[in-house]
Amino acid sequence: MSQKTSSNSQTIIFSPYQCQQEHSFWFLNRKPNLLNTAVSRDKELFVLVGNLSELELSGGEIKRLVQHIRQYREIRT
């Protein structure tokens, strides 16, 4: 998330991957406010792009987000 993100967005598309050979989610698990900002900005649709099983293995806030999506939201593969 950047500071230029509009607070009036209807849809948020969120891809937590870094452009490195190994996928590291430490930057989101270390600062949960970044993830909270991404999740709380949508008005109608939040799209999480990624392998849900791999994201869950990262633990922390990312795991909690995936568990929430699995429990309360629609998942399309």
Letter for the amino acid at 13? Answer: I
Summarize pLDDT for 4-29 with one digit per residue, the tens: 445 566 888 888 776 565 656 777 77
Sign of the torsion formed by the C-alpha atoms of 54, 59, 61 and 65:
positive
Query: What is the percent of the chain with per-residue pLDDT over 70, rounded to a whole number?
Result: 74
Predicted structure pTM score: 0.68
CA dihedral 65, 70, 76, 77 (to 10 degrees): 90
Non-local (6+) Cβ contacts of 19 within 8 A are none
Neighbours of 35 (CB within 10 A): 21
- pLDDT of the residue at 34: 77
- Residue 66: is its pLDDT beyond 50? yes
